[in-house]
């Protein structure tokens, strides 16, 4: 059984929070550990945001409960009325993550049947200790850059394989790879890459570069374009001179596909072929007409595929120069 970083942080943090709460002689010290367990998150920003929400919700919960306990006494009806008021307010103020924890702290006052200042200080201290330990532990997050770089290479490899298979299909050859499996693998890989890119961005309080996230967005759009190209290449029948030329352009795209390629030369090559294709003689048969229509759609998709990369490179070439070295 392998223990993950979050599990280790949770176990250590809960223990430390209880020990600190006991050292400070806080009542219900175990609650500090529970708060830490509920406050450990996957990213630095989410942990900090959650802690702030819970401190805010605790102040709100203690204030509402104090008024109701003073008016109606320390009983289940008062607690029910507290929930009727507190939950809608927490939802409106967007602090719903603090509803459960804050309500548990309110029950301490209900059990003690006291509105003495000591209990308000005690409950706020429990919240601050528990949430504070979670924030401190989340200051350390393993860097995801290396894993993201590795996934980028896998994405580009799969895209090359898909493009090579399409080029074979345009030449009338049987593709050497099963495309459906490659598309499923690429989709899953892009989803994982997107999750890691978001986590990487949220793990930085100060310098937060959107480069990786924008890179994934670019590849996701290209993935959708590839699905159209796959459909068009499958519909093509026979072999012609334009299909051979387009096959070579598709192979060239595969060979030069990389994160650092500006793709401008490739865009110009496909654009020239589109113009030449429009000037060529009209088809003389229905079959030739249908094939040319499919080729034209494939050509436009390939150009769009490359334009997406070119536009990304133009926008983020400065960021590419500042990338973390492998």
pLDDT, one tens digit per residue, over 37-50 is 888 877 777 777 88
Q: Average pLDDT for residues 60-83, to the nearest whole number?
A: 94
- pLDDT of residue 85 exceeding 90, the answer is yes
Provide CB contacts within 8 A for 210, sequence distance 6+: 201
pLDDT higher for 280 or 231?
231
CA dist 189 and 181 (Å) reads: 12
Q: Give residue 324's pLDDT.
A: 44
pLDDT reported for residue 190: 93
How confident is the model over 125-157, as pLDDT tens digits?
A: 999 999 889 888 887 766 777 888 889 999 999
Q: How far apart are CA 197 and CA 263, in angstroms?
A: 24
Residue 72 · residue 170 · CB < 8 Å: no
Note the pLDDT tens digit of each residue in 304-314: 999 998 888 88
- Residue 315, both tokens: 């926008």
| The pLDDT value given to residue 284 | 59
What pLDDT, on a 0 to 100 scale, did the predictor assign at position 178?
76
Per-residue CA distances from 309 to 76, 207, 221, 260, 295 (Å): 62, 25, 10, 10, 21
pLDDT at 204: 65
Instruction: Let me know how long the chain is.
Output: 326
pLDDT of the residue at 315: 81
Which among 56, 33, 106, 96 is positioned nearest to 76, based on CA atoms? 106
Mean pLDDT of all residues belonging to the chain = 84
* Token duo for residue 297: 């759609």
At what angle are helices 179-202 and 145-170 packed, to 10 degrees? 150
Estimate the crossing angle of helix 99-112 against helix 30-39, to 10 degrees: 170
33 pLDDT exceeds 50?
Answer: yes
First vs last C-alpha separation in the chain: 30
Burial class (CB in 10 A: 0-12, 13-18, 19+), 43: middle
Residue 215 Cα distances to 186, 309, 319, angstroms: 15, 9, 11
Token digits for 113?
Answer: 């049947």
pLDDT for the residue 265: 86
> Tokens representing 312?
């990304």
More confident residue, 197 or 218: 218
Within 10 A of 122 (CB to CB), how many other CB atoms are there? 23
pLDDT reported for residue 177: 67
Q: How is residue 315 annotated by DSSP?
A: H
- Mean pLDDT to the nearest integer, 197-216: 75
Q: CB-based burial of residue 285 (10 Å sphere; 0-12 exposed, 13-18 middle, 19+ buried)?
A: exposed
């Amino acid at each position: 059984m392998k223990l993950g970083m979050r599990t280790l942080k949770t176990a250590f943090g809960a223990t430390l929070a209880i020990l600190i709460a006991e050292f400070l002689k806080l009542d219900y010290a175990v609650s500090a550990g529970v708060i830490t367990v509920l406050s450990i998150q996957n990213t630095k920003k989410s942990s900090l945001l959650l802690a702030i929400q819970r401190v805010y919700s605790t102040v709100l919960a203690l204030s509402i409960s104090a008024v109701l306990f003073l008016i109606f006494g320390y009983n289940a009806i008062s607690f029910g009325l507290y929930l009727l008021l507190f939950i809608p307010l927490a939802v409106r103020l967007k602090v719903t993550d603090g509803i459960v924890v804050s309500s548990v702290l309110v029950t301490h006052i209900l059990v003690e049947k006291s509105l003495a200042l000591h209990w308000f200080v005690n409950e706020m201290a429990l919240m601050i200790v528990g949430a504070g330990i979670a924030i401190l532990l989340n200051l350390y997050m393993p860097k995801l850059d290396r894993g993201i770089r590795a996934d980028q290479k896998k994405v580009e490899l799969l895209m090359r394989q898909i493009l090579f298979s399409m080029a074979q299909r345009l030449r009338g050859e049987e593709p050497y790879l099963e495309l459906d499996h490659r598309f499923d693998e690429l989709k899953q890989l892009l989803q994982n890459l997107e999750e890691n890119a978001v986590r990487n961005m949220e793990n930085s309080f100060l310098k937060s570069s959107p480069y990786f996230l924008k890179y994934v967005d670019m590849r996701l759009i290209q993935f959708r374009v590839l699905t159209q190209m796959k459909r068009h290449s499958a519909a093509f029948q026979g072999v012609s001179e334009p299909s051979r030329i387009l096959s070579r352009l598709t192979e060239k795209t595969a060979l030069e596909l990389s994160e650092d390629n500006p793709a401008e030369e490739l865009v110009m090559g496909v654009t020239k072929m589109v113009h030449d294709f429009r000037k060529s003689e009209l088809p003389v048969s229905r079959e030739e007409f249908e094939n040319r229509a499919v080729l034209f759609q494939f050509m436009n998709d390939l150009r769009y595929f490359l334009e997406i990369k070119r536009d990304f490179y133009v926008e983020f070439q400065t960021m590419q120069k500042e990338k973390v070295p492998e």
